[in-house]
Amino acid sequence: MKIGICTAIENIEKAQAYGFDYIEVGVGAIANLTEEEFSSALEKVSAAGIKPEAANGMLPGTFHICGEEADHEEVRSYLEHVFPRLAALGVTRVVFGSGGARRIPDGFCREKAWEQLVACSKIVAQVAEKNGITIALEPLNVRETNVINSVAEGGKLVDEVAHKNFLLLVDYYHLGIDDEGYDGVKSYGSVLRHAHIAHPKIRTVPKAGDEGGYEEFFAELKAVGYDERVSIEGHIADFDGELPEASKYLKGFAVSAC
């Protein structure tokens, strides 16, 4: 397994020096770059020994996938702008969390909202395929959104979208904060294509002695045959102080899980 860190492109050299295999960037940050800024980002990535192999935050929270204000063409247009940029940087996995954009408005029919979510996800998958990107749908805890709140529910959407470029992510923090357990991981392990990790209760950077139970998470990933990327996505109090040790610590589990 590869171990990465969610951070900006300007930190790519530090991430490499601290032992990470890749970085995971924010989609919005890349979308908002001017052409000149994007050229500079390409140069920085080209000079680095690792790449931004993944990206998260696929859609702005102001977008609407579900409800009366749903605008799937706005989604398509945005992704057709940013996905080519991400692909040029080396991104092959884009995380579809976007809890605000996919939230079902209060009082709106959930059955209709689900149909909208499936339809929009098919558009997302089509644009992703054109750019050599695989979408990793992220189940989020119930505090962050009100749909796709478990791995099993995410797997159901993946099944209904039925596209090879629209698969699933598992996030250890979201599993832990909702006490979800591993049944969904076991059921949908074959479609897992990305993973996030942080302390399962307080979302901090994993470290030895914090009672995070990370060994079990890696063991469950191994049990379903997962051997791709695991990105730290958590609150970083001290980038230079925490991350070198976090990289070594998680790589120990990743190696033993292979």
How far is it, in rounded angstroms, from Cα 223 to Cα 27?
A: 31
Residues 6+ apart with CB under 8 A from 256: 218
Dihedral sign for Cα atoms in the order 65, 129, 152, 4: negative
Instruction: Compute the distance between CA of residue 243 and CA of residue 220 in angstroms, rounded to an integer.
Output: 24
Q: Is the pLDDT of residue 32 over 90?
A: yes
Q: What is the pLDDT of residue 58?
A: 98
**Segment 163-181 mean pLDDT:** 97
Establish how many alpha carbons lie within 13 A of residue 203's alpha carbon, considering only the half-sphere containing its beta carbon: 11
In angstroms, the CA 63 to CA 70 distance is 8
Q: What is the pLDDT of residue 256?
A: 63
pLDDT computed for residue 255 by the predictor: 80
Grade residue 257 by pLDDT with cuts at 50, 70 and 90: low
Condensed to tens digits (0 to 9), the pLDDT of residues 84-106 reads 999 999 999 999 999 999 999 99
Instruction: Identify the band that residue 170 occupies on the pLDDT scale cut at 50, 70 and 90.
Output: very high
Q: Is the pLDDT of residue 222 over 60?
A: yes
Contacts of 136 (CB under 8 A, 6+ apart): 54, 93, 94, 95, 96, 167, 168, 169, 193, 194
Percentage of the chain exceeding pLDDT 70: 99
How far, CA to CA in Å, does 80 sit from each of 36, 58, 89, 127, 128? 19, 12, 15, 7, 9
CATH 3.10.129.10 fits 2-257, yes or no: no
Task: Kindly report, residue by residue over 128-158, the tens digit of the pLDDT.
Answer: 999 999 999 999 999 999 999 999 999 999 9
Which residues have CB under 8 Å from 244's CB, separation 6+? Answer: 18, 19
Q: How many CB atoms lie within 10 A of CB 103?
A: 20
Cα dist from 188 to 129, 142, 247, whole Å: 21, 20, 27
Nearest to 217 by CA among 243, 186, 193: 186
Structure confidence at residue 230 (pLDDT): 98
CA trace torsion 147, 148, 153, 158 (10° rounding): 120
**pTM score over 0.85:** yes
pLDDT score at 258: 52
Q: Where are the domains of the chain?
A: 2-257
